[in-house]
A and B are shown apart, each in its own frame.
Chain A
């Protein structure tokens, strides 16, 4: 027994990502076609060259036909997967394992979400018949529980913490302003962020990720075949997933300052990839900044900051675009919004650009070898659910085998 991972056995050889927008004029089919075509072109393949597809969507369609029909795939296996807000990453994980197993030579992971057809603000889960006793809180309210808990545990005043959260939002909007695919491309001042209308608990509008439609995709092949498709493949170093037991909701020892699922997931991913000092070995991270307190806690759960010191690192600019370890250089969920099935693949797409030195110069980070730095690893963290009951995905990707 053990989690062995598939380090360096699979590589991403092409990626694509639509702009994330309120795509009033595009349906699920359009978004899937756009992301798929861009990705086929990136990898230099046609749809028939792909042996199997994994489609991630939380609630924009059911079954593989959601992809097979618009792309008119003939005789291809298409699996539709769902794993809360980590759905897009789950599609990549499944496609990678299928290739690593030898079952298929070439696989595509594609994620999509058409959120803006619901007629409501925010994300609204598809209702599953139940006994009516489930919580009906918004995700914002559940994540807002972090702030007072963190404040109390580490003796940071709630006012100071509010500034830390605002700085996270400021940073992600700063980065997103430099990204043509992002939904929100305007820099926000700390003052404007702090004075936004309250949504839940201490969280204001700008502490919350937006909502958008979008799609993104990747083509994966066996590592030894990668150079047939590209001179600069992105090797899969680690893929880790943890589905929480929900114990955090009912266990009185849980204190809302950490996500144990994420910490466990990161440990597993680092073991698979051979990462022992994430803060200094990893060049960049795309993390699930659904709410600003989430990103703060993630800095500690992912091992980038010491426990209780993440807020100081945020304030010191460690995670800024040209900081020691850039986090969400593409602007994150804050700037992109969160089409559930697509977000995980959008995060990988930024790694694809940055690690290979293909990000636009206004936001190219300098920690990576391709841009004069000394690091070659990137990280994606994607979560779904709430504090106490969540799923967590962590991947490590790199431009160099070994």
Chain B
């Protein structure tokens, strides 16, 4: 029996109120908010957040569990180079665990999930997307930035199956609904009615096929989620497919927007967070065809603990992001930077030597004195012992702000820099940049945790490292 062993979703801290978009373009009204990745986040760092949550809810040694890592996004920071490798490094997965991108189209994500469910061994399947379009577009308004990660496979010690994969169906057809030229921010769409005429019959057929294959009636299904960027079809399919079932879950578009490639696993996470043990749940994905996945939750689901539920994250966002800041973060407008030199590209060879520190946030601890070194050092500052250190993973450590400052002069993609000296629980100090924070809310004694971010990019090189953010 294969199925879902763990799940984790990540919704960025910032929200843009849709009324702020409408108002900026001279209109009135606008309902709900969309989630916005911060200026220091990309699809890779969002995927790391979600994957950390999925792994950590499995316990301390969970990072040894995945035998493969699959990463999907339509907004990769690199092509040619594999983005999943940075996710792999940030999670400190074993070298023997392959990490691959299944990128490009929105459908790639659900394809990767189906492939992982059909493969051997436990797999970590992560999807993340940053969605927008030209200013004042539907995609800008209805898109969202988020990530979700699932650990799938057979039950193992400490990782029971939470939802058994019962089967499903996939139907594929070539038709032109939505397309985007690589590198362009703007997606284009054929007349909406045309897509609806394609998707709705396909979904109806695939749904029927999936239920037949699983030996189920619609009435056996407790909850359905329908995912897709063709919102008119999504509504229509939800009405048709959901009719005989226990109901359709909210697709969260009003609260966070549609996160494209991340939406299927995000909604699966939502389904599982809401489901009771022993229920059948189904996911229908409309993207260049239709995919239906059917699961039955197990008794183990009751004992599963989400470290940070999707529901809580949806509720916790900060919704006062100015529209102009949103546009600058999305690269739609260029704001005047501080008159300081821009950062140089990070050195590939130095980054490779220091992979554990840079990507994994692994320091070192003096075996004799216990002194913690961030970054890791060969000679101890306490006692001076040479090469008597053990690696000390610190990514999951929390800490306390000892002192802090706001730098209004230093270069930042979104000034000012808020910077704190942090003492970690259990030892270790690091002066480190804060993120997802308002300078006015920072105080000595504040609690922080670590988050994987993109500090800057130069010559196309994404400079990833860790920052601290308030524990919320």
Give the interface of A toward B (CB within 8 A). 118, 120-122, 124, 127, 129-133, 135-138, 140-142, 144-145, 148-149, 152, 198-201, 245-247, 249-252, 254, 256, 388
Contacts and interface: CB of A to CB of B under 8 A. Distances in A.
Contact of B409 (A199, A246, A250): A199
B78 interface: no
Q: Per DSSP, are chain B's interface residues mostly helix, strand or loop, or mixed?
A: mixed
B463 A199 contact: no
Contact of B407 (A124, A141, A256): A141
Interface of B: 339-341, 343-344, 346-347, 350-351, 353-354, 357-358, 371-375, 381-382, 402-412, 417, 419, 421, 423, 427-431, 433, 444, 455-456, 463-465
B463 A132 contact: yes
Contacts of A145: 403-405, 421
A127 B350 CA distance: 14
Most buried by A among B382, B403, B455, B464: B403
A249 B346 CA distance: 22
A145 to B, nearest CB: 5
Given A120-B340, A124-B340, A131-B358, A137 B444 contact: no
Contacts of A148: 403-404, 444
A120 B410 CA distance: 12
Most buried by A among B341, B351, B371, B419: B419
Q: Shortest 7 CB-CB distances between A and B: which pairs?
A: A132-B346, A141-B407, A201-B405, A247-B381, A131-B350, A132-B463, A129-B347
A247 B347 CA distance: 25
B463 A250 contact: no
B217 to A, nearest CB: 56
A121 to B, nearest CB: 6
A337 to B, nearest CB: 16
A107 to B, nearest CB: 35
A131 B351 contact: yes
A252 B421 CA distance: 9
Contacts of B464: 132
Contacts of A131: 346-347, 350-351, 353-354, 357-358
Nearest to B347: A129
B403 A252 contact: no
B405 A129 contact: no
B144 to A, nearest CB: 29
A201 B340 contact: no
B94 to A, nearest CB: 22
A144 B421 CA distance: 12
B346 A200 contact: no
Contacts of B410: 136-138, 141, 200
A127 B344 contact: yes
B359 to A, nearest CB: 10
A200 B407 contact: yes
A131 B466 CA distance: 13
Nearest to B381: A247
A132 B348 CA distance: 9
A198 B382 CA distance: 37
Contacts of A251: 371, 381-382, 429
Contacts of B371: 251
Given A149-B403, A252-B427, 18 more contacts: A120-B341, A131-B346, A131-B347, A131-B353, A132-B347, A132-B456, A133-B358, A136-B343, A136-B455, A138-B410, A141-B406, A141-B419, A142-B405, A148-B403, A200-B405, A200-B406, A250-B428, A251-B381
A121 B337 CA distance: 13
Nearest to A198: B408
A245 B347 contact: no
Nearest to B357: A133
B339 A121 contact: yes
A144 B406 CA distance: 9
B445 to A, nearest CB: 11
Contacts of A121: 339-340, 409
A140 to B, nearest CB: 6
Given A121-B339, A127-B344, A140-B409, A133 B381 contact: no
B421 A256 contact: yes
A252 B373 CA distance: 11
Nearest to B354: A131
Contacts of B340: 120-122, 124
A61 to B, nearest CB: 19
B442 to A, nearest CB: 11
A130 B350 contact: yes
Given A249-B429, A249-B431, A250-B373, A130 B339 contact: no
Nearest to A148: B403
Given A120-B339, A250-B429, A388-B431, A132 B406 contact: no
B351 A132 contact: yes
A137 B353 CA distance: 24
17 contacts: A130-B350, A131-B350, A131-B358, A132-B456, A133-B358, A133-B375, A137-B405, A137-B419, A141-B409, A141-B419, A199-B409, A249-B429, A250-B373, A250-B429, A251-B382, A252-B423, A256-B403
A362 B400 CA distance: 51
A133 B360 CA distance: 12
B415 to A, nearest CB: 11
Most buried by A among B405, B429, B433: B405
A138 B419 CA distance: 11
B429 A132 contact: no
A315 B353 CA distance: 51
Nearest to A256: B403
Contacts of B419: 135, 137, 141
Contacts of A250: 372-374, 381, 428-430
Contact of A245 (B341, B374, B375, B381): B381
A199 B409 CA distance: 6
Contacts of A137: 405, 407, 410, 417, 419
A149 B401 CA distance: 12
A30 B386 CA distance: 48
Most buried by A among B354, B407, B417, B421: B407
Nearest to B465: A133
Nearest to A200: B407
Contacts of A120: 339-341
A129 B409 contact: no
A198 B406 CA distance: 10
A132 B455 contact: yes
A162 to B, nearest CB: 15
A3 to B, nearest CB: 19
B341 A141 contact: no
Nearest to B427: A252
B388 to A, nearest CB: 17
A138 B407 contact: yes
Given A130-B347, A252-B423, A199 B408 contact: yes
A137 B420 CA distance: 11
A320 B463 CA distance: 48
